[in-house]
Chains A and B, each alone.
Chain A
Amino acid sequence: MLQIVNISKTFEDGTAQQKILDQLSFTIEAGKSVSIQGASGSGKSTLLHLLAALDKPDEGKILLSAALNPNINTDKTSDQNPAKTIDITTFTESQADHYRMSTIGIVFQKYNLIDVVSVLDNIYLPDKLNAINGRQIDKSYINHLIEGLGVSRHIDKLPNQLSGGEQQRVAIARALAHKPQLLLADEPTGNLDNHNSDIVSRLLIDTCAKLKTTLVLVTHSDKVAQLTHRQVFLTQGRLVTEAG
């Protein structure tokens, strides 16, 4: 379970201050998918960055249950969190790095594949990074993932030889390759046409459901949002409606 508790975040824009998130609170069940919608500037991407420990809130907590985060040592915070949860906003830089490497996967709007290595090497990258820390690479799982996402015939190609939809599928495979407990997707179909958007969205949500990976999906598309277990709407940094 992921608990977002009274999160606030303000950015300075020259001399003015802009409150992006304002006392935001909600809970995400483990293994479920949540879509986050809202107008530009409503705080969707900022929330995702906070969940990825790429940034820190001005106030509030993001509590992660130990079940979602088996690789992070909770001993240091056990006195404060008797229920074996940890607050990711208190992470040091190295803890945040470790959290991102082992616990979460991120899919971006731009595919951000490494263009100098093959599709297969791109997909294996997070797994190989985790292998440095002693985790085993599950080749059959990755092969299954590649098959499931329909990129098996492209594995020896370089990323710039693929179409946009294909590249995003590779990006999803890469984000899921190391079996993350939480997948954060920031408008993953924003660069795709409607047809490809539908295919990639379904693939993403279905794959997460099969793998029981918690998915937080930022999207502008109602159609895509409807595919998730729960829909959250943000306005001016506040949660205004929930559905699902």
Chain B
Amino acid sequence: MLFASLLIAACGLSTVLIINASAKQSYTTNSTFLISNVKYQVIPKTSQATLNKSDYANLRKLGFDQLIALAQSSTHIYAEQKRVFDRRIDITGIDTIALLSLISNRTYDKATVTNQTNKTDQSGILATNPFSSPVGIVHPSLLTQLSNGAPNFDNDSEYFSIIVADTNTQDNSDDNLNKNNRANNNVDNNTFKRRDNNKTSGIKTRSLPKLVTFEDPSLGNDLVMDIGEFYRLFPNNHLSSLLLVSAMEGPALEELVDALRLALPAHLKLVSLNQGMQQGELTNSFHMNLLAMALLMFVVCLFIVINAVNLLLNARMPWFKICRQLGLSRNVIFIGQIIEMVSITFVASCVGIYLSIHLSNLVAPTVQATLEGLYGVEVGFGNTSLLSLFLQVFGISVCGSIAATVAPFNASNQALHSTHSYDNLAANQKKWRRNFWLLSILFLLVSLAILSMATALWLLLVATATLILSGCSLLLANYPRAIDAVYRLIPPAFVMLRISTKQSSALSGKTKVACCAFFIAATSNIGMNLMVDSFRGATISWLESRLATDYYLYYEGNIDITSIARDKKIEVFQRFENNLNYNGSPLQQHSYPTTQQFKDALVFYKIEDSDTAWKTFSDSNGVFVNQQFAFEYNLGINDTISVPHPSTQQLTNYVIQGIIYDFGNPYRQILLPLSQFNSAISKSTIYTFNADEKNLRQFKIALNKQGIDTEKSLLNTQQLLAISTQAFDRTFIITDGLNIVTLLVAALSLACAVVVLMDTARPQNMLLRSFGVSAIKTQLLALFQYFILCLIALLFATPFGILLSWGLIYEINLQAFQWTYPLQINALKILQVYAVSLSIVLLIIAIPIIKASKRPLIEDIRWLN
């Protein structure tokens, strides 16, 4: 049991550390983009549009030689017809010839010399790897991972390969890109042909170039190669983006960007790469959440370790007594135990890390969707150093397990040579109760102080931890009183229940740790469930209100939807949007109609006088901002902000008239009246309208004639709600999973306590059996004792759970995402948590109780003499 609990703790901790490291690397990779001095990129305007090699060639012809083509694909890697790694690897192709010519370009160099001190940093690793021969660059740990799955790995040859579908199409790699930009490319296309192998009809194997390693974290999980090599592997792929590589700053850069923006064809757009603080904050909150998860799991596992150590010491107590009688000192016995504990921890850490590597890959696809939705990060495979991982996991595990050993050992040791009189015992209990009360008040004050003053996310998490500790202390201080209250409620006729309730009181003193584990699990369960429930309720009610019209058409092309609708007697409301940079962060400017229907649909977090606010808004003097904007810049109603006008782009002053809810939006947003927007400048993506069946049918036919797939792009309110609810439920899979895991761990902790206390409780149970109480009744009574303890823990956990959800919604959520929502206390939800928690715990602790009851009565009856 000891090994198992340490193994679970080590495995959980290292899994989280691996996911954390991978996510961090993924973020670093995404933000550094392999090449330095990339502030903008050209990408297709819509998901339907494509970025072709001809676009690239044309733009470079126009003189934009700062643009570097980038193509990306992800695929499985094979060796000797076998997949070497379960996860897909991102393969990135970069136009290295263009990049190298840019580095040698005088303009770039000048800018570099004046602006930077470290020249080698200017184009990242690619500047030092000229791709004179076909190679793929990977991080050393990725190569290690790949070679681990390939038994006959030989890095001197093109060992790895990919499998692609043979579409029998003309290889397009030799098109405009090669004609215009790759004249000097020394890669021989005939060589490509030689390295391709038709495996079976419909499937083609293509060898990867020789892999060389480069120690640069920005490589992450990517395999980077020259774009020529990339197109040999993926001849039909489009370009992903064109990176604008320039060391220019300020007006010069702005001038270049403006010129490029004007030169772009209609289907392309120029976007900023710098997500700035926004991503940083989300990343921090993600890492903080992961850390909190890891610590929660680790702490609860330590509770099991304490119980397991107790069990171990109880079993060894006769040996310890003999050792003491033979003259062995307490220290010698203690050191022996510590050495044994460290050895077990060492083995558990090694096995745990090994399992966690597999586990992180296994859970990655499930966790991916949630984390990507919430934070936009990839998880699963990271270039984590095994040594560093081992040192972290082993260090924390050893400290935790030694701490877990000391308390039970001391208690056992004292029990060996001292007995307490009843009076001393009662006085001790009183003293402990008083101390727990004091601790509880102290923790609560600390927690409230931090919650009211702190602004850093980690401090808020500390406040949450102290709040839970306060609850634990309060529970331990009041267990006997609460059990007495339950005792008084039971009618005297239920004599066995009354005795069991009294025994629960004694049990509470012996199962403090397990009860605390259950309390923590129950508090976090109630807190998280209320938070999720409030979020779900707020989101659905907000969506139902915000989805004012019956239908929503998602379309970003140039077809005049408004006039088509008008022909079919439908009035559509177009939503214009501008994405701009405000104080270094992305800002969304959206249009909002001012008809009564839309006025009723907007849900405000804060507004003073609704009529005045709407009038000012309609007159283009006021704006509505979302919570994310208001909280980030600490703005309130009637504050004035200066933002670019949606049409003229001139800085214009607007008065904030209302702050709206905008759940789930990671961006700051301003709503302006429709009249402020110019269709020639602003993007339009959503058209909303009401329509009867007949008009809708005709409108759909008209749209289909224009090539718009209404099956995919036209949704009604119910469909949108269903999609949102599905997305919402997916987002909280992790929360639900974590809740169940913490409950299971708490239940295991209690089950350990049951095993530990079984010997103590056996004479009393056997006494009842000797009185003629049936086996099933004694089992039920034993369960009833734990039921009472859990029920009281749940009752205490309820106010703390509500406080926790309050903190999560109004403090932590606000800090992490800059939006909040009303807390809804749903009694049914709390009762549901009660039912689930009690069921899980009682089911698990019933196992050792039932197992013990299977023993023949005569074996246990000897305990009575």
Contact = CB atoms under 8 A, between A and B. Distances in A.
Contacts of A108: 864-865
Contacts of B502: 116-117
State the main secondary structure of chain B at its contact with A.
helix
Contacts of B857: 54-55
Interface in A75-120: 93-94, 96-102, 106, 108-110, 112, 114-117
A101 B769 CA distance: 9
B422 A100 contact: no
Contacts of A186: 865
A25 B681 CA distance: 110
B763 interface: yes
Contacts of B493: 128, 131-132
Contacts of B856: 55
Contacts of B858: 49, 54-55
B861 A54 contact: yes
Contact of A112 (B498, B503, B763): B763
Contacts of B495: 124-125, 128-129, 132
B503 A116 contact: yes
B422 A101 contact: no
A45 B422 CA distance: 32
B836 to A, nearest CB: 30
Question: Which 3 residue pairs are nearest across A and B when measured between Cβ atoms?
Answer: A101-B772, A100-B772, A116-B502
Interface string B473-513: 00000000000000000000101101100110110000000
A96 B506 CA distance: 30
A114 B770 contact: no
A187 to B, nearest CB: 7
A99 B773 CA distance: 10
Interface in B666-684: none
A55 B767 CA distance: 15
Contacts of A129: 495-496, 771-773
17 contacts: A49-B861, A54-B770, A55-B857, A97-B772, A100-B771, A108-B864, A112-B763, A112-B864, A114-B764, A116-B499, A117-B499, A124-B495, A125-B495, A126-B771, A128-B495, A160-B422, A187-B865
B775 interface: yes
Interface range on chain B (Cβ under 8 Å from partner):
20 to 34
B775 A116 contact: no
Contacts of B861: 49, 54-55
Given A54-B857, A187-B865, A94 B771 contact: no
A93 B767 contact: no
A158 interface: yes
A197 B493 CA distance: 35
A190 to B, nearest CB: 8
Contact of A101 (B506, B771, B864, B865): B771
B406 to A, nearest CB: 29
Contacts of B498: 117
Contact of B499 (A54, A100, A112, A114): A114
Which of B763, B775, B864 has the largest count of A CB atoms less than 10 A from its CB? Answer: B864
Given A109-B865, A129-B495, A186-B865, A116 B772 contact: no
A63 interface: no
Given A109-B865, A116-B505, A158 B422 contact: yes
Given A100-B770, A116-B502, A161 B775 contact: no
Contact of B774 (A93, A102, A114): A93
Interface string B400-425: 00000000000000000000001000
A132 B493 CA distance: 8
Given A55-B858, A116-B503, A129-B495, A102 B865 contact: no
A102 B770 contact: no
A173 interface: no
A129 B493 CA distance: 9
A49 B771 CA distance: 13
Contacts of B772: 96-102, 129
A204 interface: no
B491 to A, nearest CB: 12
Given A112-B864, A114-B764, 7 more contacts: A97-B773, A97-B774, A99-B772, A101-B773, A106-B770, A116-B502, A186-B865
Nearest to B862: A45
A52 interface: yes
Nearest to B425: A160
Contacts of A161: 422
Nearest to B772: A101
Interface in B87-109: none
Given A45-B865, A54-B861, A116-B499, A94 B774 contact: yes
Contacts of A99: 772
Given A116-B499, A158-B422, A186-B865, A110 B763 contact: yes
A106 B766 CA distance: 12
A125 B771 contact: yes
A115 B861 CA distance: 18
Contact of B864 (A96, A102, A110, A116): A110
